[in-house]
Structure 1
Amino acid sequence: MTTFDAALPVIGRAPVVLDAAQQAVRDARSGRGAVVLGAPGSGKTTAAIELVAAAILDDGLDPAQVLVLTPARRTATLLRDRLVVRLGAAGEGAGEGAGRALPGPLARSVAAFAFALVTAANRLDGLAEPRLLSGADQDADLGELLDRATLDEVLGELAGPGPAWPEHLGPEVRRLGAFRTELRDAIARLSEHGVGTDWLRARGRERGLDAWAALADLVDEYRQVLGSARPGQLDPAELVRAAVGLVHEPPSGMPDLPRLVVLDDAHDATPSALDLVAALAARGATVVALGDPDVAANTFRGAEPEALAGLPALLGWRDAEPIVLDTVHRHGPTLRALAADVASRIGTARAGMQRRAPAVPLDGAATDGRGAADPRAIPATWGGAIVALDAPTATRERSLIADLLRERHLLDGVPYRRMAVIVRSGRMVPGIVRALAQAEVPVQSTAAGRPLREHPAARALIRHVDVGVGRSPLDGAAATELLLGPLGGIDRVGLRRLRRALRAEELAGEGDRPADILLADALADPARLATIDHRTARRAARLARTLQAIGERHAAGATVDELLWLAWSESHVAEVWQREAAGFGVAAAEANRALDAVVAVFTAAATIVDTVPDATVESFLARVLDSDVGDDLLAPVRSDDAVLVATPAAVTGLEADIVVIAGLTEGVWPNTRVRGTLLGAPLISRLARGLPVDDLDERRLVLDDELRMFLLAATRARRQLVVTATAGDDEQPSALHALVREHAHRDAAARLGIDLDALAADAVATPGSDREQERVRAEAQIEAALQAARPVRARSLRRLVGRLRRELVDAGGVARESDRVEAARALARLAVERVPGANPEQWWGMLAPSTEAPLFDGDEVVSISPSKLEAIETSPLDWFLDTIAPREAGPQTGIGTIVHAAMQHAVDPDLDAIWAEIESRWSELVFDAPWLAEQQRRLARRYAVGVAAYLRDAEQEGRGLVGAEQRFELIVDRARVSGSVDRLEVDGDGAVRVVDLKTGKPLTKQSDIDTHPQLSAYQLAYAEGAFDEVLDRVLDGLPHRPGGARLLYVREGVRGSDYREAAQAPLDEEQREAVRERLRQAVAAVAVARLTGVRTVDRFDFAAVAHRIHRIGPVTGES
């Protein structure tokens, strides 16, 4: 068994002491061989290594005649390294044969060995070596085939009879990524079992499965297309099947086949892999297969847990009894009891004897091989070998994990490389990785299995080429994505500044195109940005030149890897990321992940260029951007001191001192959703192997798989297993978490010397007795022991700095003077070590302001918009921020602008005309989803109805329009009040009123309406004669009087009307003077050097997020 720390003695640089069962495995290297069953940690791999060592070193078997197979390439690499160490160490000074050069890797994956066989046969026939069809390639091919077939079906242009899919598998379903996943799974099962499409059609007829006939037709078409488009390319199952045929009938000149075959992790071997082993056995090879069906993690690829028990029959062995490893060495009895309990809940898969194996007690009987103390022992402070924790939120759960790992490392000296966090799904890995990195826990994970487009850096690089070659249009959304992406170098503030500059130039040239179109045009023409003298514009121009160069090189025939390199080199981020990656903390972790993703992109591109020379750039882009399947890109796991975050399948063959299983939340793990319901791939496997299929409890089978994954993950632990879950209002820990907690409870009782069973029996026999009280006290002791296992917070430098700074600046006097002195000394020490935040020069408020000059000098006039007067009164700081850096305008703002324009241009109350005006500009709006666009469209229609109803009533009541969007300006002392009113109306009695259109929620409190600052400013403007010129012109000198102001709400009506009004009565002189004073106060509030904001926020809620900056202290506690 391999640990994450390659230097640990468990790897074995010398022969290890085997128990009797392991010795029996070692002795099985001659004759026909053996099937070996062993619980996790019972030493299966160790026995296999010693078997190989004995065959080569003791029996003199040529290494070329020994083959060690594993189902996965990663485990083969681990096993190969251990074999090299074992054989190299034993061979030193051993005389003849010492240090011999091995002819090739002793350990290989089944696919690698099959590839070598097929390659050798092809060379004999003068053919090129085969190419392995990746999952991503297959997904792209199937997607293209399905799209074309669906289009032909919809258009009625099928050239011949195509697959007749059942109604429930219509075109909408077949376009889903989940359908392609099941399709790939079904094709793999057919290849794995070596059955054809005629067999599938027959089984479909027998079981009334119409989908299988259509599936068979599609598979035939797919293989025909693949044969012409990708000649010589095979999927893994086809490759192994081809190798099986070569072993049965090897061509003349083929290399000799191995005499000894060792199959480790046999429980994960697929049917084709087992058939390959059987073929080797039929040619005279000794076969030793080792495994445990209880930890089979490859069932989703077609592995059958029952197959291991059936292997002797497949090999032709009669009366063959398996060798059962009867002692678990990896962990102690506590963890072993949990593992046995979990295993007992799994179907036996025709095996189960291995479950009875006990663990070696933690009494010194087991050592690490060099006479050291038992490496499985744990300190009393750890709270036992099993710990079950929960947290109110997923974020807090991740923080809890980080706290625990840091505590084990800092206080107990456990290297990070001897820790692992295991999650059920690969999609959960990035969240854990980010959380640990933010908590300053070094972390490592692999990118294998995730589509490249899910990695931000990889997606950004690919999208540069995608847009540059013209596969995807350069529209506003694409321009924004590229500029804000990891390679664009522009943040949202810079992008907003660039959009405003482009818009200003557009308006100066009397144009009216929206900013999105201007942004796209600017990236399409680098010269367009030459007139904007700003750093952001220069970066955008560099991106524009890069896109232009990519297009030109593509037209000249450049390959995809050349175009990717052009995009990468012109981004100028390589040195920055390399420098950040060499550091530590969040930035270093992000930089490392970004660089790994970029390397993965170039690896994928190089593979395409090498294996499919005639592949187009567009086909590569479609493959990586449209596929939901990730490639195994051989991204190496770094070997530095870091915690490994992985899925159960990725930790096969590994172990760690501390294993954390995260996310044991109901519905997440176990996930009992039945898989393969569309095409029935699991049923194909069972029928092909002759296994029972009637009266199957499919949910039970799924649960068994979930338990196997959990058992695999839990048994990676040598010293301590920790499980975590979310326990909140919407999420609860799963049954697996409860099971582990029960074992943790019993372990705590045993450590405290409490006999729970005896106490419970006595309490039942004599209720109300002292024994019942004793049981209650015992439970309290146990609970206290379980709580003591929770990690203490503030183990990170960032939290430590925060706590010390709070003590230093404690304004409430809670901290003693001596505590503040010690805090100052500690901060000084941390500052010397350059810990962020420790140096007072980095604290808020310690640096002198760049200027103390007020925002407006002396008697300078201050421009105030009536619509912003309330914002100044509420928070001058927010007003300032919204003025210099306006918020990103959303679709709702754009809709309001369009509705205002429709009302302005309306010549009569015709609803159709008003709606036509709105529709004519609807394309200017950008929505995140079609459903959102439709929702907002219905809302806009509601606005149009309200506007038309108001205009109709105004016409009937004799109110005439004086001016729409009527501009005005008013001077009050230092305040210049300027703006425009939506409608200035006059009735038959000469009463003039201002109408302001609103599309938001209505204001209903009359006291608020009476003092509404915007309406009050409009009324003051009328009183001061700001509208006299237009009134005189329209009314031809007729007298007029104030008629007040009102807010017109068109979102909802009232009392049978389609709109709602909030009316402010005409102001008298006293009220007008109050408005003037409000303007003076507004000027005083902003004509200062230090703007004030909202009150200090001590509770963050949805209301608080409306403010751009909150007045909080430089150091705050966590809520």
Structure 2
Amino acid sequence: MTALDAAPPAQLAHPVSLDASQEAVLDARRGPGAVVLGAPGTGKTATVVELVSRAIEVDGLDPQRVLVLTPSRRSATALRDRLALRLAGPASVLPGPLARSIASYAFGVVQADARLTGTPEPRLLSGADQDSDIAELLDRSALEAVLGEVASPGPAWPEHLGPEVRQLTAFRTELRDVLARLSEHGWSTDDLRAAAARLDRPEWAAVADFADEYRDSLGGARLGQQDPAELVRAAVGLLADPHPAAPEAPSLVILDDAHDATPSGFDLLAALAARGATVIALGDPDVATNTFRGAEPESLTRLAGLPTLVLETAHRQSPTLRALTAQLTSRIGAAAAGAQRRARPGHSVGPSGDEHSGAEAEAPELGGPLLALTASSPARERTLIADVLRERHLIDGVPWSRMAVIVRSGALVPPLVRALALAEVPVRSTAPGRPLREHPAARALIRHVDLGVGRAPLTAEAATELLLGPLGGLDRVDLRRLRRALRAEELAGDGARTADELLVDALSAPDRLATIDHRVARRAARLARTLARIAERHAEGATVDELLWIAWDDARVVERWQRDAVAGGTTGGEADRALDAVVAVFTTATVIVDTVPEATVETFLTRVLDSDVADDLLAPARTTEAVLVTSPSAAAGLEVDVVVVANVLDGVWPDLRLRGSLLHAPLLSRVARGLPTGDLDERRLVLEDELRMFSLAISRARRQVVVTASAGEDEQPSALHEIVAERERALREGDTGRSGTAGAAPPRREGAPYAAPPHRVIRARSLRRTVGQLRRVLTDPRESHDRRAEAATALARLAAERVPGADPDEWWGLLDVSTEAPLFVEEETVGLSPSKIESIERSPLDWFLDTIAPGESTPAMGIGTIVHWALESLSAEVLDPAAPPAVGVEEVWAAIEARWSELSFESPWLAEQQRRLARRYAVGLADYLRDAAGDGRAAVAAEQRFTVQVDRVQVRGIVDRMEVGADGALRIIDLKTGRPETNAAKVAANAQLGAYQLAFADGAFDDALEEALRPLRDRGALDPAAPVTAGGAVLLYVREGKGDQSYREAVQAVLDDEALEAFRERLRLALAAITVDQLAGPRTVGRYDYGSLAHRVHRVPPVTGDDS
């Protein structure tokens, strides 16, 4: 389908010139119909529009007898608008929308029958509702199994689909997919059980039992609700056996994008054909993107008996781009088609009506029709994409709306949108919906109601979430200021409550903050009043939308967000998305109340906060001048001048992971259709799906395709990127008539990243980055006087034009100090973590920045947490006298693997790399535990919390493991998954180990040890009369070992009294360093290091404009 925003409405209102093959399709309306195959850009949708126009305006067919269908609601909306423009005129009176999605038409058929028969009208069961129902039933079954209250055996899930697997979102997604496939093919649960027995698929038998249980237990709660597949299947039955008073079937039925229709959709066409309709289906199996929902590329063969027509001319693409598309599609199986691949490039008609030959569309002014670019990192890749887009717009004159960026999956869209907006590229997206609770603005609004009605308790964490959220209006500095003010009042009144307790108390009582005269307190008090109003109105029986309105109205952010959204830029984009999210919340509330009249406020909250599936809310189409960032499935029908296909990495695109690996829904579809499954090459099928999506992406471009990837130690461009790069090189060599010229890319070494061909240099063309570069030159004392003077002049010119950041009055470094008060009030106890002591010693300023704006967690940090948990769980088993003491690699690995599913990785190769690294950790940890046991050291504590006080400093921490040897010496173990520290002096001075030794010396572990040592003394493993003595502390590294060992120990010797006092003095000095009004830190830190989290706010290129 050709998207509406790809052409001016004025042009869409006029007829277009069709080629001979398109005219043949128009003639098919007077015959039995046809299956029409057309390569990308051959004008399938343009043919549909003219087909409808001629049927109505030339043949005189009643518009009510013409039905145009598409597989998706998005494409139906775009086609509906295009048809309305084409048919608009003084004599045109349309009875309603001519284009509908298959599910929408099926809903109308079922609804009409319900009205005729007096049965309840259908209601659409959303994916989110179904997911919630399935989760509830799975949770209930799991709980009954634990409690031993199972009334019936229930589904016999195979061992590999145990309770922990069935709690995963991915499992529920596959379960919903299998249930949909059953409806798609008209299968009963008995059919599924028979297939399970025939093919030895016990998981299908379990699904059949679950489906029966699902319908029995939840059918009453969802009376009349059906998912889209069930609606289409029901419509097929009603069309085959209609009610005597049912509406007349349409005379002409046209299906666009037929390659993305599911089996039930083709059964619907067959039922309409049986009622006398002329059916014409247009599609291209080579660009099918809906296979994950059950669409089958060879589905056009379901319309057997209809003649096949082929569109012969590719109007969109130039010869080079058409050849690239043909090269890619030639690698895909024939899918009962293939003739469309012979389409030849022809004359292209642009959206503004200009006609030119394909040879004239080779875009030499853009650097050629193909560019394959690589960057050194993902961040650099995003910057490169922004530079390419800005250059095309500013230098080559390509409108923003005539460019698009396509990524492999919808999950990659939001970060790219944010990066491009930050680089001052106007963007819009058609990213697939996310659950409302994942939108910051939506979650904040919902959480106000959640806490106000008391469904969730108001804790310190919840209070912090609201105050720091989009509606709360505070930042971390404000929150710290509020907590300090509350604590100061408490201390003044001789109270002893913590800041957390005081914060909860303040939001629980609207008048509690009246005694603090500060804007921060006033904002928090407003939030407290909002929660109180919500609670009061809920008690009076207010509806959920009324409670949501209280939270929204009291926040007082609407005018600011609207102003920011209109202004545009990065802030404007965030405001725009926030407003959309708020609208979606109110829309969802209305839909739930309308479809489930008995729904309560708690029903709504459970539905939106616990669901992992997004609602299918059709957002209004944006027609602003902006670059579209989207995924292949949402790009179907798009036509633009320039397409950037981004993140084409090995393991990302193509993504060769098998689909439906738990319940095998794709295999079920093949079985239902009677296709062979014995020698099925599933990986080949996945590869063909990936090729289809890539072919669709690159075929959206009329003038230029730019393919980008990042190349480094951990990532490489994929084979798809190399195909484009090789064709680009061949194109340039053909242009020069010789190889090895200056324009040719260097030969690629095996395993080396593919070098980007040296076309015109892509330069930064962003005001933001230009300002950053000028400011850096101006403030760098190493620059010459002349360069600094030039920079000052340029900044003055930009400031006069009100370019953000150019005026020195806007520079943070020149602003007045916001406060000179110290971080902590006098005599306040200051809590320190053992791991942060050295950070304070290095730079109190960096410690403060890391505390107030901590960095994001990484997969490596998540793996470290899981390995620590494994040590804790295994140590706990050893502490249990009834547990077997032997612990091997497999036991450690099983503990790690039990929580591995909690981690998420950007790509499969990264997940595999980290998995191998975690296996190495398991070996090192297992070998250490074996050696400790062999040396007679027994674990006496794991994850042991402690507190030790030194003057005003309260050191609070957790010890990973403590073990006692036969001689009574206690060693404190700190597990590390990073690279080992081999400098003995640094180990001896390690503050974290010093804190642990100080805690032992001051008796912080006495109570825990007394209880833990009793079993050892009782069984004679430890002399009851012998005291436990200090045995030092150890950094245990399990990433790499020393010599024959798979692990490495860095031992800190026992600290004597003098050393302990020296460590106490270190704590006092650390306290003095952070209880001042000005924190010390390095004046200059040099070039920003992307590999280090230290000094991350200094010299960041996107901020400073430093491209070197």
Give me the TM-score of the superposition, normalised by structure 1.
Answer: 0.77
Q: Determine which of 233, 240, 244 is the counterpart of 1:241.
A: 233
> Contact 2:732 / 2:744 at 8 angstroms: preserved in 1?
no
Q: Deviations over 1:196-246 (max 9, x none)?
A: 111111111111112222211111121233431111111101111121122
Match of 2:461 in 1: 477
Match of 2:965 in 1: none
Q: Deviations over 1:83-133 (max 9, x none)?
A: 122222xx5xxxxxx532101111111111111112222222234432111
Q: Determine which of 155, 158, 165 is the counterpart of 1:163.
A: 155
Structure 1 residue 23, shift from structure 2 partner: 0.7
Match of 1:796 in 2: 766
Q: 1:980 to 1:247 in 2, by over 3 A?
A: closer
Match of 2:1106 in 1: 1117
Letter in structure 2 aligned against 1:799: R
Structure 1 residue 1088, shift from structure 2 partner: 12
Q: 1:1006 to 1:213 in 2, by over 3 A?
A: closer
In 2, Cα distance between equivalents of 1:653 and 1:786 = 30
Bigger radius of gyration among the two:
1
In 1, Cα distance between equivalents of 2:656 and 2:278 = 40
Match of 2:249 in 1: 257
Structure 1 residue 840, shift from structure 2 partner: 2.9
Structure 1 residue 5, shift from structure 2 partner: 3.3
Match of 1:179 in 2: 171
Match of 2:870 in 1: none
Q: 1:808 to 1:18 in 2, by over 3 A?
A: same
Match of 2:394 in 1: 410
Match of 2:895 in 1: none
Structure 1 residue 810, shift from structure 2 partner: 6.1
Matched, 1:657 2:641: yes
Q: Deviations over 1:693-724 (max 9, x none)?
A: 22101111111111111111111111111111
Match of 1:838 in 2: 806
In 2, Cα distance between equivalents of 1:196 and 1:863 = 70
Structure 1 residue 677, shift from structure 2 partner: 2.0
> Contact 2:33 / 2:307 at 8 angstroms: preserved in 1?
no
Which is further off, 696-705 or 496-505?
496-505
> Contact 2:413 / 2:431 at 8 angstroms: preserved in 1?
no
SS of structure 1 residue aligned to 2:130: helix
In 2, Cα distance between equivalents of 1:676 and 1:877 = 51
Q: Deviations over 1:479-521 (max 9, x none)?
A: 2222211111111112222333334444555555543343333
In 1, Cα distance between equivalents of 2:312 and 2:263 = 28
Matched, 1:424 2:372: no
In 1, Cα distance between equivalents of 2:552 and 2:409 = 31
> Contact 1:328 / 1:357 at 8 angstroms: preserved in 2?
yes
SS of structure 1 residue aligned to 2:220: helix
Match of 2:796 in 1: 828
1:440-455 alignment, distance < 5 Å: 440-446=424-430, 448-455=432-439
In 2, Cα distance between equivalents of 1:885 and 1:18 = 64
In 2, Cα distance between equivalents of 1:146 and 1:180 = 9
Match of 1:1035 in 2: none
In 2, Cα distance between equivalents of 1:398 and 1:353 = 38
Among all aligned residue pairs of Structure 1 and Structure 2, give the percentage whose two residues are the same amino acid.
Answer: 59
In 2, Cα distance between equivalents of 1:636 and 1:166 = 45
Q: 1:880 to 1:383 in 2, by over 3 A?
A: closer
Q: 1:335 to 1:850 in 2, by over 3 A?
A: closer
Letter in structure 1 aligned against 2:1082: V
Matched, 1:359 2:329: no
Structure 1 residue 1050, shift from structure 2 partner: 4.8
Matched, 1:337 2:320: no
Q: 1:473 to 1:1048 in 2, by over 3 A?
A: farther
> Contact 1:440 / 1:584 at 8 angstroms: preserved in 2?
no
Structure 1 residue 341, shift from structure 2 partner: 0.9
Q: Deviations over 1:382-440 (max 9, x none)?
A: 22111111112111111111111111111112111111111111111110110011001
1:925-1074 alignment, distance < 5 Å: 1050=1033, 1060-1062=1053-1055
Matched, 1:215 2:187: no
Match of 2:724 in 1: 740
In 2, Cα distance between equivalents of 1:1011 and 1:242 = 71
Match of 1:115 in 2: 107
Structure 1 residue 252, shift from structure 2 partner: 2.4
Match of 1:764 in 2: none
Structure 1 residue 167, shift from structure 2 partner: 1.7
Structure 1 residue 878, shift from structure 2 partner: 5.3
Unpaired stretches in structure 1, ≥5 consecutive residues: 92-97, 757-774, 856-860, 893-910, 913-928, 946-963, 968-977, 983-996, 1016-1046
Q: Deviations over 1:451-503 (max 9, x none)?
A: 11221111111122222222222222222222211111111112222333334
Match of 1:564 in 2: 548
Q: Deviations over 1:1074-1118 (max 9, x none)?
A: x9xxx99x99x9999998642421134599856698699996734
In 1, Cα distance between equivalents of 2:69 and 2:1091 = 61
Q: 1:256 to 1:1116 in 2, by over 3 A?
A: closer
Letter in structure 1 aligned against 2:122: P
Match of 2:283 in 1: 291
> Contact 2:1085 / 2:1095 at 8 angstroms: preserved in 1?
no
* CA RMSD in angstroms, aligned pairs only: 4.7
SS of structure 2 residue aligned to 1:212: helix
Match of 1:57 in 2: 57
SS of structure 2 residue aligned to 1:530: helix
In 2, Cα distance between equivalents of 1:573 and 1:854 = 30
> Contact 1:445 / 1:637 at 8 angstroms: preserved in 2?
no
SS of structure 1 residue aligned to 2:361: coil
Match of 1:646 in 2: 630
Match of 2:566 in 1: 582
Q: 1:332 to 1:496 in 2, by over 3 A?
A: same
Matched, 1:350 2:336: yes
> Contact 1:418 / 1:643 at 8 angstroms: preserved in 2?
yes
> Contact 1:2 / 1:11 at 8 angstroms: preserved in 2?
no
Structure 1 residue 22, shift from structure 2 partner: 0.5
Match of 2:182 in 1: 190
1:59-138 alignment, distance < 5 Å: 59-88=59-88, 91=89, 98-138=90-130
Letter in structure 2 aligned against 1:831: A
Letter in structure 1 aligned against 2:774: L
> Contact 1:3 / 1:11 at 8 angstroms: preserved in 2?
no
SS of structure 1 residue aligned to 2:479: helix
Match of 1:1099 in 2: 1087
Match of 2:873 in 1: none
Q: Determine which of 697, 704, 707 is the counterpart of 1:713.
A: 697
How many corresponding residue pairs?
955
Q: 1:752 to 1:472 in 2, by over 3 A?
A: farther
In 2, Cα distance between equivalents of 1:131 and 1:38 = 36
Letter in structure 1 aligned against 2:676: P
In 2, Cα distance between equivalents of 1:53 and 1:8 = 19
Which is further off, 879-888 or 213-222?
879-888
> Contact 1:399 / 1:435 at 8 angstroms: preserved in 2?
yes
Match of 1:895 in 2: none
Letter in structure 2 aligned against 1:498: L
Q: 1:850 to 1:168 in 2, by over 3 A?
A: closer
In 1, Cα distance between equivalents of 2:481 and 2:821 = 24
In 1, Cα distance between equivalents of 2:421 and 2:1091 = 31
Matched, 1:591 2:578: no
Letter in structure 1 aligned against 2:1085: V
Unpaired stretches in structure 2, ≥5 consecutive residues: 749-753, 862-878, 881-897, 903-920, 933-947, 957-971, 995-1029, 1037-1047
In 1, Cα distance between equivalents of 2:228 and 2:48 = 25
1:510-521 alignment, distance < 5 Å: 512-521=496-505
In 2, Cα distance between equivalents of 1:16 and 1:1066 = 89
